[in-house]
Structure 1
Amino acid sequence: MRLDVPYAWPAGEDEALALQERLRPLADHRGPGPAAPRLVAGLDVAYAGDGRGTGDLVAAAVVVIDTATLGVVERATAAATTAFPYVPGLFAFRELPALVAALRKLTTTPDLLLCDGHGRSHPRRFGLACHLGVLTGLPTAGVAKTPFTGRHDPAALGPDRGDHADLVDDGEVVGRALRTQSRVKPVYVSTGHLIDLPTACARVLDLSPRYRLPETTRQSDHLSREALAAG
């Protein structure tokens, strides 16, 4: 998979903020995105230290899933020591170099990327999923375990699989809380690039037949932890 980065990674907060502002208009949230993707890649990053993003050693994992069987088609990892500081809202710059290195190892090109993180549900509407989508030119969405920007009305979220409620920030819909299994906590879906929100949610449901997290997230989370432990 060819993947060029046409700029240097920012060294500090001001450079990163400026790059987000410059790239944000390039993210296309209209979609509709792939209606029946065959290959979907899950992307995740594990951190050393407390595991919450404060450690400097990171391991990125990409797992390509065949949606027909939910079997693993390809896996790739990359470890790195991140040089970018811990700044909420700029986590992408701690993770992107390792994720790009892992993506470059793939021999297949996924139809859709699902990253463990946020896209439009970000203070500047340009989270990790947006950045990955713009870099790769692939349809991309974020699937997060917890919300970041935007809140939903708890009364609007039903208890059954497929029920959802909009995440709203400053009057703007930035994502959805999506119930992937009945009577379990929702996941938080937001668009990154070349896919709309209903389609992104439908694809997440397709990949979550048994568990709260989609198979892409489950597999990439496990692999990133393995890679981190292996050093």
Structure 2
Amino acid sequence: MNLAIDIYYYKTYAKCVGVLFLWEDDVPTQVIEATVDGVADYVPGEFYKRELPCVMAVIDQVRKYKIDCIILDSHVQLGEGKKGLGEYVYEAFDQKYPIIGVAKSSFHGNEEYVREVRRGDSENPLYVSAVGCDLDEAAESILNMHGKYRIPTMLKEVDRLGRDSVYPLNSGHSV
């Protein structure tokens, strides 16, 4: 079972969504949601400080399942000696879960840590990075995920689920 996670930020909190799925699936096996209050402000180069508590809130809900891989909308490494969100998640869970980062844009300086994956008819690649698993195998897995377009079906779905609710989880929060 794989877990894809995406996060959406509001004024004072974040909505975190995860989908459990198998590589070939076109619909999630299960959807996981969490709300995290008091998220850190965005600081360039320290994105993980904002995202890590959100990712952990979703992973904490699925520990009872055998998770083979976690897919994040981010880079795993930012360059030589520079960790991306994926590497922080990998370390936060004692290297238990392989992490694949799937980013829509490149990051200057991390070229040797990514594989460009072109799906469908798109000329724009996805930038795949990984820790805890082979990078070429990770790129192949993303390439072969369900869907005809640039973004695999399950990654589109986790994005859609997060965007669908302006007032997530009936939390009483305001945007």
TM bracket (short chain)? 0.7 to 0.9
| Count of aligned positions | 166
Q: CA deviation digits over 1:41-82, x for unaligned, max 9?
A: 11111122xxxxxx5421111111122433311111111233
TM-score by length of 2: 0.83
Output aligned runs, 1:1-231, within 5 Å: 39-48=1-10, 55-106=11-62, 107-122=64-79, 124-136=81-93, 137-150=96-109, 168=111, 173-191=112-130, 193-230=131-168, 231=173
Distance 1:75 1:122, change over 3 A: farther
Structure 1 unaligned regions, length at least 5: 1-38, 49-54, 151-166
Q: Which has the larger radius of gyration?
A: 1
The residue number in structure 2 matching 1:14 is none
- The Cα of 1:122 is off from its aligned counterpart by 4.6
Name the SS of the counterpart of 2:124 in structure 1: coil
Q: How many angstroms apart in 2 are the aligned matches of 1:82 and 1:212?
A: 33
**Contact 1:123 1:149 (8 Å CA) reproduced:** no
Distance 1:228 1:141, change over 3 A: farther
Name the SS of the counterpart of 2:32 in structure 1: strand
Distance 1:91 1:122, change over 3 A: farther
- The Cα of 1:182 is off from its aligned counterpart by 2.6
Over aligned residue pairs, what C-alpha RMSD do you find? 2.1
Identity rate of aligned residues, in percent? 25
Q: Tell me which amino acid in the other structure corresponds to 2:4.
A: G
TM-score by length of 1: 0.65
